[in-house]
Amino acid sequence: MESHIENFIVHGILEIMYLDILLKSIKEISMVKVKQKKNYTDHGINIIKPNKKVANMLLFLF
C-alpha cells in the first residue's frame, strides 16, 4: 500500500516538473517570435533546444 502511494507522489512530482518545463518552453518560443518580429533575429532559439530535449526525455516516463 505504501509503495503505491509513493509511486503516485513521484509520478505527480514528475508530471508537475514536466508541465513546468513545457510552460517555460512555450514562453521562450513566444518570446523569440516577438523578438523575430521586432528585429528579425533568431536570438534565443538556443535557449529552447535544451528544454525541448528535457521535455522529450520526461515524456518517455509517462
pLDDT tens by residue, 4-47? 888 888 888 888 888 888 888 888 777 776 665 555 445 544 44
Number of domains in the chain: 1
Sign, CA torsion 8/51/30/62: negative
Q: In terms of residue numbers, what domain contains 23?
A: 1-60
Report the phi/psi class of residue 44: left, alpha or beta, with left for phi > 0 and alpha for psi in -120 to 50: left
pLDDT of residue 12: 87
- Count Cα neighbours of 27 within 13 Å in the Cβ-side half-sphere: 6
pTM: 0.42
